[in-house]
Amino acid sequence: MDKRLSITDLKGMKKRGERIPMFTAYDYPTARLVEQAGIPLILVGDTLGMVVLGYETTVPVTMDEMLHHIKAVVRGTRRAHVIADMPFMSYQAGSSDALANAGRMLKEGGAQSVKLEGGVRVAETVRLIVDAGIPVMGHIGLTPQSVNQLGGYKVQGKTPAAAVKLLNDAIALEQAGAYAIVLECVPAQLSQAITDRLNIPTIGIGAGPHCDGQVQVFHDLLGLFMDFLPKHARRYATVGDTIVEAVRAYANDVVEGRFPTADESFLVGKTVLSEVTPHA
């Protein structure tokens, strides 16, 4: 049986100076492909609300929606460490709700750890979840669930006070027991300072090259959204164009009578055919 990457393995990667690639997946076939590519960490992000379900933000995503996708990703993997994003209001309302919902991510979803947004303000919640035996990845900087409060998707930590706050948030999460922290849309120099200060890995997204690892969204890197590419992403393929071309070719073949042919059809012998063919 294949052994999944553990949080101990992840911390060891930081100590050895090994860069950590992390990627999102939201369904069974995608998870299989991502793992086959050698990705050790797979995040089932609440970004699925935007890239899979068509919401304008991640705020509407529910626990049931997250669990549905987490189960599919877990079924599609054997070695990768699967991280489940805790959706908006699954942990903010109180410690008992937070613990119960985090437990569902592992017990029902099959994930190996959970991720939640916030620093100092959620540190005690993180501690409670970790003390219950559930590994927690933190997330600071641009926290999409707080987009309405932040006034949009903006780089964080651009003033001295904001930079100090982010550093304090990171330290608070480490002290609370988080095994890693995502830094999103944080200036590269600040990300480097935070990474150097912590004993746990940092995973960057729009946070420069100095984090211990990087995470990106599947649909951004593969060009599944052709009209927009975030500044922090690099397009490695244009799968969206390929899909459109393939589907258009199929539709044209159907219209012109080129599909299906005998190669895609099933045939029977004359004896069978004689039973259903009108006799003269």
DSSP 89-107: TSSSS-HHHHHHHHHHHHH
The residue behind tokens 């410690």 is 95
Within the chain, all domains assigned CATH 3.20.20.60 are found at 7-240
**pTM for this structure?**
0.94
Task: Evaluate if residue 61 carries a pLDDT over 80.
Answer: yes
> Please, which pLDDT band fits residue 280 given cuts at 50, 70 and 90?
low
Total Cβ atoms within 10 A of residue 234: 9
> Please, which pLDDT band fits residue 151 given cuts at 50, 70 and 90?
low
Q: What is the mean pLDDT of residues 175-199?
A: 98
In whole angstroms, what is the distance from residue 139 CA to residue 183 CA? 6
CA distances 74 to 1, 3, 166, Å, are 15, 13, 32
The CATH code of the domain at 7-240 is 3.20.20.60
Q: What is the pLDDT of residue 155?
A: 87
Q: What is the pLDDT of residue 149?
A: 65
Total Cβ atoms within 10 A of residue 164: 12
For the chain, the average pLDDT equals 94
Q: What is the pLDDT of residue 105?
A: 98
Q: Is 163 left (phi over 0), alpha (psi -120 to 50) or beta?
A: alpha
As annotated, the active-site residues are 184
> Please, which pLDDT band fits residue 1 given cuts at 50, 70 and 90?
low
Q: What is the pLDDT of residue 225?
A: 82
23 membership: H or E segment, kind and range: strand 20-24
DSSP-derived 3-state class of residue 215? strand
